[in-house]
A and B are shown apart, each in its own frame.
Chain A
Amino acid sequence: MKYLLVEDNHELANAICSRIKFDGHVIDHADKLEDAIAYSNTGEYDLIFLDIMLPDGDGRSFLKHHRDQKKDTPIIVLTARSQVSDRISLLDLGADDYVTKPFDHAELQARCRAVLRRKAGTAQTILQFGDVAFNPLAGQLSIRDKMVNLRNRELRLFELLLNARGQIFSKQKLIDRLFSLDEDVSENAIEVYVGRLRKHLEDTSLKISTHRSLGYRLDDD
């Protein structure tokens, strides 16, 4: 995925960028309106994170400019204003969603997925592994042309393991990635999700192996 972050606070921008990159995505950062417009004109982004208060103008004018140019790149607004009226006006101006600072990274990711899924109709990327076909944007998994109904966490576990095939994930790491930070989750929960996913992937070329005291790994035969 390729993201554009428009945020004037460099500290926050660094933190967001490092978190996004950790998930294996590409992210560009613009710290003012002028740069943001330039970036969005040249690069093809899957999604834009937009701060509203910018030193050379209001994020809302970027939104307007963006929609005026008929660009359909989804925009998630990062706002420090929590009031209902502010939020509603943002949506009216064409933002796809918003998160209020400070935000949970898991929530941001969830909102990204939701937004992307809604826009998925246009560009289709399907990853094929033997009998298994996966559409990452729509979050759809089909095995032998049959849609598999995965729960959100199963899907994200699968996505996580698939994106880093052959890499072992510790249970702790999986919890960090799958659950919100304010949830108290035991390692057993991971075992339950891994067990369910294994069952779906039975008789396919994709296998989840257990590495005692280390974690789990997805292998492609």
Chain B
Amino acid sequence: MTNTVRISGSLRNRLMITLISGSAILGIILFFIVRGYATQIAQDGQDNILKASLSSILDAATIQDGLVEVDFPYASLSMLDTDLDDRVFYAIYQDGILLSGYKGLPAPSSLTGETRTFQTIKYKGTFARVANANRILVGERGRIEISVSVAQTQDDLSRTLNSISKNVAVFGAGFFILVAALSYLATSTTINPLMRLAASIKKRGPKDLSPFEKEIPSEMVPLVSSLNRLMGRLDLSLKQSEDFIAEAAHRVRTPLATVRSYADATLQRVSKSENREALRSMVRAIDEASRAASQLLDHAMITFRTDHLQKEYIDLIDLVQDLALRLSPIAEMKDVKILVNHKNPVEIHGDFILIQNAIRNLIDNALKYSPNEAIIKISVGSEPTPYLKIHDEGPGFPPDDIQNLTLRFTRGKNANGIIGSGLGLTIAKDVANAHNGRLEIFNHKKGGACAILSF
């Protein structure tokens, strides 16, 4: 019974995706924050050097004989040397007019007092950081404003930032991988109880509809309690339908019994042979129907029960002798003798009802196929494993399809005239399999059918 289940994503995947995408976003945010911070620090570093350079140039400004002289030290530009040999530009203005240095650098707006500004500009085809500052010199001819711009390209800064970015990216990726691994673990841990629940339900036999009683996380309580309620209802309806089947069987059997009894009684009074034959046919049909119903019910019961064995220790000899006694009235009708042969006690661990049913079916078969005044030999032993052997004096199994006889509804070709449903051997075999045992059927060398049920 496989119903297609409609699948809409996976809980595990959804959880994983949420956690992983969350960590990815966190990683990216982390990357940008750290990178931003690093940029600011690196920029501050560059600005500080530019500021120092600027100050050393401004400090060198003097008025000599009424003329401005800026004899700035070698170190003013030397300090701007970097590993990647960044380009350096500078300009010196006197009252806004370029005195020396590069043209086109942003001149600081004329301000009173000394101020410093930093900005990033595009200059000579590249980005450069510019620091501006000015200073007032007072000479004989009045106030002179000296302003200086010092600029430096950002190659080294970019390289530093790139290397930081790379490291941060590696760190971020590592963080991401770690979080992803943790997500996987967390997801597995979260999903596990669900998997265990599923596995434990899967393991159950079809008749096991008892509520799920293991401890579960609180989030699963609604699921499990509805599952339990569903199973409760299922259990109830299954029991009801079983009762219904039994009831139906009962309802059918009673009228059948009436008809059969009347037929039986009528036969005693009828002597015309065609009437007698009709009555006998009727009786056979009824017997066939009732036996088939019995075995079908038995087979269904066995199928359910093999999934859920109720094992106990069984004295096999006791069981066989009791069955032989129960069946002796029928055996006597044909003057058939059932001999039970045994030596030592034989005990097996199994489901009593199933094993009794299997053996009963085997003895029934032997009885049905035995000729009048025959003997059915049953031997019970425990070597090498517990076994039961039934040997009759009947015609034996048809050699051609001996392998198929244990299949459902397969009857021997010599079964004509003998009432049966073809389920007897199937039931015996199913029971044997459920107990890790086996059923062997073969024809005895000296004639007659032989069946060995071993556990």
Contacts and interface: CB of A to CB of B under 8 A. Distances in A.
B171 interface: no
Interface in B228-272: 246, 249-251, 253-265, 267-268, 271
A182 B301 CA distance: 28
A113 interface: yes
Interface string A105-134: 111001101100000000000000000000
A180 interface: yes
Contacts of A183: 334
Contacts of B287: 102, 104, 182
A28 interface: no
Contact of B260 (A102, A170, A172): A102
A83 to B, nearest CB: 6
Given A83-B246, A110-B332, A111-B329, A181 B267 contact: yes
B379 interface: no
Interface stretch (B81-89, B151-159, B292-300): B292-300
Contact of B246 (A78, A81, A84, A105): A81
Contacts of A180: 333
A102 B258 CA distance: 8
B247 to A, nearest CB: 9
B77 to A, nearest CB: 107
A4 interface: no
Interface stretch (A12-20, A64-72, A200-208): A12-20
Contacts of B260: 102-104
B138 interface: no
Contacts of B328: 114
B258 A11 contact: yes
Contacts of B257: 12, 15, 78, 80, 101-103
A116 to B, nearest CB: 11
Nearest to A18: B265
B256 A15 contact: no
Given A22-B268, A152-B333, A182-B287, A84 B357 contact: yes
B297 A83 contact: yes
Contact of B253 (A100, A105, A179): A100
Contact of B298 (A12, A83, A88, A110): A83
A159 interface: no
Given A83-B298, A84-B301, A101 B254 contact: yes
A53 interface: yes
Contacts, number: 130
B333 A176 contact: no
Nearest to B353: A84
Contacts of B268: 19, 22, 173, 176-177
A61 interface: no
A153 interface: yes
A101 B333 CA distance: 19
A189 B333 CA distance: 14
Given A80-B249, A83-B246, A83-B301, A12 B329 contact: no
Nearest to B357: A84
Interface string A20-61: 001000000000000000000000000000000100000000
Contacts of A15: 257-258, 261-262, 264-265
B254 A12 contact: yes
B329 A110 contact: yes
Contacts of A9: 254-255, 258
A104 B335 CA distance: 17
A39 to B, nearest CB: 20
Contacts of A81: 246, 249-250
B17 interface: no
Given A101-B290, A182-B419, A12 B356 contact: no
B280 interface: yes
Nearest to A114: B329
B248 to A, nearest CB: 10
Contacts of A84: 298, 301, 353, 356-357, 360
Nearest to A52: B250
Given A102-B287, A152-B335, A176-B268, A184 B417 contact: yes
A178 to B, nearest CB: 9
Contacts of B373: 151
Contact of A182 (B261, B284, B293): B284
Interface string B305-340: 000000000000000000000101110111100000
A53 B250 contact: yes
Given A176-B267, A181-B280, A182-B283, A12 B261 contact: yes
B294 A114 contact: no
A105 B246 CA distance: 24
Interface in B344-376: 353, 356-357, 360, 372-373
A161 to B, nearest CB: 16
10 contacts: A9-B254, A12-B257, A15-B257, A81-B249, A82-B249, A82-B294, A102-B260, A114-B329, A153-B372, A182-B417
Interface of A: 9, 11-12, 15-16, 18-19, 22, 53, 78, 80-85, 88, 97, 100-107, 110-111, 113-114, 151-153, 170, 172-173, 176-177, 179-184, 189
Top 9 nearest A-B pairs (CB, nearest first) are: A15-B261, A80-B250, A101-B257, A82-B294, A102-B257, A80-B253, A102-B260, A110-B329, A12-B258
